[in-house]
Structure 1
Amino acid sequence: MKKLKFTGLILSMIALIAVSCEKSTDTPEQSLSPELPPSESMAFDFEAFEEDGNSGKSANLVYDNKAPNGNWVFSRVVVGVWSSALYSTLAVPVASFQAAFTQTPEKISEDTWQWTYSVDGFTSEYSARLTGQLTEDAVLWEMYITKEGIEGFEEFLWFSGSSAIDGNSGFWILNQGPERPDAMLRIDWEKSGEEIGSIRYTWVRELDDQENDDLFRNSYLEYGLQDAYYDAYFNANVYDANLQAFVDVDIEWSRSTYEGRVRALAYFEDEMWHCWDANGDDVACE
């Protein structure tokens, strides 16, 4: 009887090993690759404050309190500095990262995976190579871009970053471009549930395009969610070239109605909130 029990135990162990091997064989290497950080961690949706132009290259924030829709327009100008930088100066690396979500990675070493692909949406031909390296504490990311044709360039490290193993937080460092491979923008992000709960854009460029000290350096725009009617906010601390000083701007709005309000002592010359309605028209704050 004891011999039969022992034999049964051995058979059970063999069966478990066989199942384990079968699962290991059927699992593709790609399924073990690190999960990409959310696309919103780099390219936040600025829909509520859309603006045309190249304000990302200007540190001038001009406010006219006699202009119609002045409260929303002023808020849009503040936010536009950052959205323009992302979608004009840094459009190629941002689009390259977003395109990675449609690709399948390849394992190239014991702890590193690679995504390689062409980037659509531009008149020039760009190729991207994104790597993700697993470490004990984080995933390290690097994006290399190559351009073919006129004013082409060899592979260039356009951004790098790190994300927590659980995928709930991280940061990016975006360089200005191949001709000026200097850090320009740092993005720190953190998830809240299934969406980005907070994100901060910090201008880290040391020299401007004329090789002078970049006075806008250390300016930042922070986005977050809150449990209130105005359920989203921006807190900004930015350098204003006209005032030759850093100024604070607080913006709150409803993500469902687009109503909002702004507070900025340096521009409104008071510490009160200034509101707009769902159409962007100035209204009295309740």
Structure 2
Amino acid sequence: MKNWRVYGILMAFAFIFTTSCDNSDEATDEANNLALPLYESMVIDFSNFTDDSNTGKSTAQVYDNKAPNGNWFFSRIVVGVWNSALFTNLAVPVASFKSAFANTPENLGDNIWQWTYSVDGFTSEYSARLTGEVTGEEVLWEMYITKTGIGAFEEFLWFSGSSAMDGNSGFWLLNESAERPEAMLRIDWERSNDEIGSIRYTWVRELDEQENDDMFKDSYLEYGLQDGDLDAYFKAYAYDSNKQDFSDVRIEWSRATFVGRVRAFDYFEDEEWHCWDSNGDDVLCE
């Protein structure tokens, strides 16, 4: 019988979580070189595991017909939990960053540019102020958010980061909230040609809500591209409160055919790969 402890770990972890810009005609050469990092530098691509059209199965078919020990089913659970956890908690910061691409920055001088705008898509009113400062070989970014109406808060630094001048690498550091403006999540990313080659979300919060050491600190989810037929992967690494240690899951799949495999010792109780075909059905690994 499979060990469902990993699913509990993932759900607990989810609870804890509970291209370039347009420049004006008067922009300087420096402004023309100051481009926003790719939007995808803040957003992992979960589509292969949240869009059932890739496997030819509907959501109802997946949950009605797949046994709970299905290889793709388990991988979908892992990815789906992270997807829900991340985007529920990062909805406003991510939307705020995305909105910057539709706005033109103002040159404040001293190699600093500023985007100011309202953030659409929410019932509450959010205002954003994003600054980019060129210093040496990198750009320093700071995103300030203000909320009016119910649950209003004054402007605070929701996330910051830096990116290389060539736009090929960087990181974001997100604070938890206006009430708890401490570092919560770090996103490290690298660009490969015109897409993100790797991106990793790392839980960096030091203390939990009860001001105790946060045992989930250093848990992470990584998405990346790699050579070979299975050209994409996820690696999930989260703290297991039962065994008081970290557990990890490795998922690899083909973006073209969707065939893939998963390895997770705490679920399958072995170190072997467990595979699925292009329909999401279990198959023997070659």
Q: Same fold (TM over 0.5)?
A: yes
Q: Deviations over 1:97-130 (max 9, x none)?
A: 0111111111112210001111111110111110
Residue 269 of structure 1 corresponds to which residue in structure 2?
269
In the TM superposition, what is the alpha-carbon distance from 1:30 to its structure 2 partner? 6.3
Q: In structure 2, how many angstroms separate the alpha carbons of the residues matched to 1:276 and 1:202? A: 28
Higher relative contact order (CA 8 A, sep 6+): 2
In the TM superposition, what is the alpha-carbon distance from 1:85 to its structure 2 partner? 3.4
Confirm or deny: 8 A CA contact 2:68 2:74 kept in the other structure.
no
Residue 29 of structure 1 corresponds to which residue in structure 2?
27
| Letter matched to residue 281 of structure 1 | D
Confirm or deny: 8 A CA contact 1:30 1:106 kept in the other structure.
no
In the TM superposition, what is the alpha-carbon distance from 1:31 to its structure 2 partner? 6.1
Residue 109 of structure 1 corresponds to which residue in structure 2?
109
Confirm or deny: 8 A CA contact 1:238 1:247 kept in the other structure.
yes
In the TM superposition, what is the alpha-carbon distance from 1:266 to its structure 2 partner? 1.9
Q: In structure 2, how many angstroms separate the alpha carbons of the residues matched to 1:40 and 1:227? A: 20
Length-normalised TM-score, structure 1:
0.81
Q: Secondary structure at the match of 1:209?
A: coil
Q: Deviations over 1:114-173 (max 9, x none)?
A: 011111111101111100000012100000001110111110110000001111100000
| Letter matched to residue 94 of structure 1 | V
In the TM superposition, what is the alpha-carbon distance from 1:210 to its structure 2 partner? 3.2
Aligned residues: 247
Residue 157 of structure 2 corresponds to which residue in structure 1?
157
Confirm or deny: 8 A CA contact 1:156 1:178 kept in the other structure.
yes
Q: In structure 2, how many angstroms separate the alpha carbons of the residues matched to 1:182 and 1:153? A: 16
Q: In structure 2, how many angstroms separate the alpha carbons of the residues matched to 1:183 and 1:94? A: 16
Residue 228 of structure 1 corresponds to which residue in structure 2?
228
Residue 203 of structure 1 corresponds to which residue in structure 2?
203
Q: In structure 1, how many angstroms separate the alpha carbons of the residues matched to 2:50 and 2:208? A: 25
Confirm or deny: 8 A CA contact 1:69 1:280 kept in the other structure.
no
Length-normalised TM-score, structure 2:
0.81
Label 1:48 to 1:209 Cα distance change in 2 as closer, same or farther (>3 A): farther
Q: How does 1:33-182 map to 2 (within 5 A)?
A: 33=31, 34-50=34-50, 67-68=67-68, 70-182=70-182
Residue 246 of structure 1 corresponds to which residue in structure 2?
246
In the TM superposition, what is the alpha-carbon distance from 1:42 to its structure 2 partner? 0.4
In the TM superposition, what is the alpha-carbon distance from 1:27 to its structure 2 partner? 5.4
Q: Secondary structure at the match of 2:79?
A: helix
Label 1:85 to 1:156 Cα distance change in 2 as closer, same or farther (>3 A): farther
Q: In structure 2, how many angstroms separate the alpha carbons of the residues matched to 1:28 and 1:259? A: 51
Q: Secondary structure at the match of 2:114?
A: strand
Label 1:279 to 1:156 Cα distance change in 2 as closer, same or farther (>3 A): farther
Q: In structure 2, how many angstroms separate the alpha carbons of the residues matched to 1:244 and 1:271? A: 20
| Letter matched to residue 117 of structure 1 | Y
Confirm or deny: 8 A CA contact 1:142 1:161 kept in the other structure.
yes
Which segments of 5 or more consecutive residues in structure 1 lack a partner in the other structure?
1-25, 52-65
In the TM superposition, what is the alpha-carbon distance from 1:84 to its structure 2 partner? 2.6
Q: Percent identity?
A: 70
Let me know the Cα RMSD of the aligned residues. 2.0
Q: Deviations over 1:66-109 (max 9, x none)?
A: 93463223223333443233311121001100111111111112
Label 1:114 to 1:136 Cα distance change in 2 as closer, same or farther (>3 A): same
